Every structure is written in C-alpha cells, then in structure tokens.
C-alpha cells in the first residue's frame, strides 16, 4: 500500500495551502504536483509552488486499544514531501512564499482536511537552491506528515 497516504496527501496539502493562503504570502501562487510539471527550469515571471512526494513509510503504531474485547493496533503512515518554491520575479517574492508556507504548516500541525485527520504535519528543513539557476529564485521546504489509517 505504499503511496496510498502520500498521494491523497498531495491533494490535501494543496487544498490546505489554497484555503489558508493570506495576503502576507503575496499573490496566490500556482500549485502543481511534480509529476504533472512538464517544463522544468524555464524562467517565467510566475510564482510557482511544486509539491513532490519523497517517500512514505507505513509503520505499525504502538497504540493498542480494545474493540469488542479484541486487541487492535492502529496503523500510522509517515509521508515525506518536498515543497519546491520558485519565482522569476525576485528573491523577496520567493522568501515571502516560503514564510507563508512555513506559517501555514506551523499553524496547522494537526489539521483536519476534508475527512482526513492528520496526527502531525511539520516542516523539517528549508534549503536554498539559488546557486543552481540564473533568473530563478528557488527554495525547497521538506515536511513530514503522519496520518492514521490512510
């Protein structure tokens, strides 16, 4: 079942960003999934956030509870994603989007998105990718998410 929680999470994180985006993050960027992006490293003046699934680790959770006198264990899936933020405008516009993404993740640590309840959603790293491109300002944010019973 690898990928089952991650693929639905990709849609959930895009919904979360679109619903919670504020003017502090500037104009609402274009959100895409990495596998839907056909042109890469093409310098345009758009503000873009590309979300890619890095991995998923289904583990048995150590919580045991009883259902009708039968011991039951819960499944916990950990999903790692990379949020690739870039713009052809300026580094300031990218940093504004980075701040907004971090703000959304921090204020929605245990979100309910649609009918999916997440146990934890945390940013784990911010990486500047500025030296790789000319006229494209880019950062990546790595995040980890845990969800029960995907």
Higher per-residue pLDDT: 44 or 30: 30
Higher per-residue pLDDT: 150 or 98: 98
Domain with residue 17: its CATH number is 3.30.2000.30
> In the predicted model, is pLDDT for residue 15 greater than 80?
yes
Domain containing 111 equals 4-148
Higher per-residue pLDDT: 133 or 25: 25
Task: For residues 13-25, give the mean pLDDT.
Answer: 87
Rounded CA-CA distance 104/122 in Å is: 10
> In the predicted model, is pLDDT for residue 102 greater than 90?
yes
What mean pLDDT value characterizes the chain?
78
3-class DSSP assignment, residue 125 = strand
Return the top range by mean pLDDT from 12-26, 28-42, 48-62, 95-109: 95-109
Q: Looking at the 3D structure of the chain, how many domains does it have?
A: 1
Rounded CA-CA distance 48/87 in Å is: 6
């Amino acid at each position: 079942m690898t990928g089952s929680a991650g693929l639905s999470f990709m849609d959930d994180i895009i919904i979360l960003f679109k619903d919670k985006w504020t003017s502090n993050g500037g104009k609402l960027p274009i959100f895409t999934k990495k596998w839907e992006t056909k042109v890469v490293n093409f310098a345009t003046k758009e503000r873009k956030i590309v979300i890619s699934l890095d991995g998923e680790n289904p583990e048995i959770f150590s919580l045991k509870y009883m259902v009708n006198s039968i011991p039951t264990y819960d499944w916990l899936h950990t999903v790692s994603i990379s949020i690739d933020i870039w713009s052809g405008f300026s580094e300031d516009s990218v940093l504004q989007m980075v701040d907004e993404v971090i703000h959304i993740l921090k204020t929605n640590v245990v979100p309910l998105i649609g009918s999916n309840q997440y146990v934890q959603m945390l940013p784990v790293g911010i990486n500047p990718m500025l030296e790789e491109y000319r006229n494209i300002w880019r950062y990546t944010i790595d995040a980890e998410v845990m969800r029960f019973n995907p």
